[in-house]
Chain A
Amino acid sequence: MADDSEEDVRDQLKAALWLAIGGMVDEETLRRNRNVTPQFIAALTEMVWAQIENVALDLENFSRHAGRTTINTDDVLLLARRNQDLHAIIKDFVDKQKATKAKGKSKR
């Protein structure tokens, strides 16, 4: 019974992910003037799903290794350690986020 509902939640999450990825694919393909098959979106969704699973387990273990139970941005940066460009993008993103947060606080 509990398994059933767990499955249901999973299916719903996957469907939501599918929708989100479908939107992104539409946006990209429209911009590039290309077409995709629906199966492509399905396959990409599966890939992203599997990647999120890997990422989730990595992040969890990174945070535990640092003696935390909450995953923070350092863990995400560690995730991107093997790809310098990706690391730079994520770092920029995180720094920008911190900057806007600091700005918001100083205004208040």
Chain B
Amino acid sequence: MPPKQSATSSRGRGSSSTVGRPSKSNTAASKTKASSTSRARNQPPSYPDSPQVISDMSDLDPFAEDEQPQRRNGGGGERDTMDIDGEERPGQATAVDDDEDEDEDRKTIPPDLLTHVLQQFFEKDGTRVSRDANAAVAKYMDIFVREAIARTVVEKEKGFLEVEDLEKVAPQLLLDL
């Protein structure tokens, strides 16, 4: 199982979670990964939510790859399982723990912060945001940020990502989102 994982992750793009990680956590994570991947494959019926989670993630990637359609053909079938991995696998959580944060699988813009920022910009008094809508906007901004990074990574193939690289992808990004 672990060798297969590494094969897919070198092929896939950013969603492959093993790529840039220090090797110590890599070996540790790949063990959990092996077990939990099989678990994730066996269990879907018991998780009514998981199909939507998958489509969340797999939708997220394809349109990050608008400029690079050949990759879509490359990892299409396997990316689903990889994305399950990324989203709800304990292995991912431990990997993030290694970095710094422990409370969530992925870092996002905190919804409460977003509420306050939105309130800052409302022009009319009494405009309110429902909780679901706020979470949806948080999701939107999360996609925005990750899309910006993904496009910049494609734009600049090696070296540090710099402001100029972001500037190159910004216009199309703003048109697309």
A interface, CB within 8 angstroms of B: 9-10, 13, 16-17, 20-21, 23-37, 39-40, 42-44, 47-49, 51-53, 55-57, 59-60, 63-64, 69-73, 75-77, 79-80, 83, 85-86, 88-90, 92-101
**Which label, helix, strand, loop or mixed, suits the secondary structure of the A interface?**
helix
B48 at the interface (CB under 8 A from A): yes
In contact, B148 and A44 (Cβ under 8 angstroms) = yes
**Which label, helix, strand, loop or mixed, suits the secondary structure of the B interface?**
helix
Task: Give the distance in Å from the alpha carbon of A72 to the alpha carbon of B87 in the complex.
Answer: 26
Report if A72-B130 is in contact (Cβ < 8 Å); known contacts: A24-B142, A31-B20, A64-B124: yes
| Contact among A27, A56, A79, A90 for B121, CB-based, below 8 A | A56
Give chain B nearest CB distance to A105 CB in angstroms.
Answer: 14
Question: 8 Å CB contacts to A: which residues of B110-162?
Answer: 110, 113-114, 116-118, 120-124, 126-130, 132-133, 135-137, 139-146, 148-150, 152-153, 159-162
In contact, B113 and A47 (Cβ under 8 angstroms) = no
In contact, A59 and B144 (Cβ under 8 angstroms) = no
Contacts of A52 in B (CB 8 A): 114, 117-118, 121, 141
Task: Give the distance in Å from the alpha carbon of A44 to the alpha carbon of B150 in the complex.
Answer: 12
Task: Give the distance in Å from the alpha carbon of A4 to the alpha carbon of B161 in the complex.
Answer: 35
Task: Give the distance in Å from the alpha carbon of A25 to the alpha carbon of B106 in the complex.
Answer: 11
> A37-B162, A69-B127, A96-B53 provided; 12 other pairs, C-beta below 8 A?
A13-B113, A20-B109, A20-B113, A24-B145, A30-B20, A34-B153, A34-B160, A51-B177, A73-B130, A94-B136, A97-B136, A98-B132
In contact, B170 and A47 (Cβ under 8 angstroms) = yes
In contact, A73 and B133 (Cβ under 8 angstroms) = yes
Task: Give the distance in Å from the alpha carbon of A90 to the alpha carbon of B118 in the complex.
Answer: 18
In contact, A36 and B161 (Cβ under 8 angstroms) = yes
For the complex of A and B, 8 pairs with smallest distance between CB atoms: A33-B20, A56-B121, A85-B63, A23-B107, A76-B136, A36-B161, A70-B128, A96-B52
In contact, B162 and A90 (Cβ under 8 angstroms) = no
Contacts of A89 in B (CB 8 A): 55-56, 59-60, 139, 143
Give chain A nearest CB distance to B95 CB in angstroms.
Answer: 9
In contact, B107 and A57 (Cβ under 8 angstroms) = no
| Contact among B59, B106, B136 for A73, CB-based, below 8 A | B136
Report if A44-B145 is in contact (Cβ < 8 Å); known contacts: A10-B120, A33-B20, A85-B62: yes
B174 at the interface (CB under 8 A from A): yes
Report if A20-B107 is in contact (Cβ < 8 Å); known contacts: A59-B137, A70-B129, A98-B132: yes
In contact, B120 and A13 (Cβ under 8 angstroms) = yes
In contact, A39 and B14 (Cβ under 8 angstroms) = no
Task: Give the distance in Å from the alpha carbon of A88 to the alpha carbon of B99 in the complex.
Answer: 31
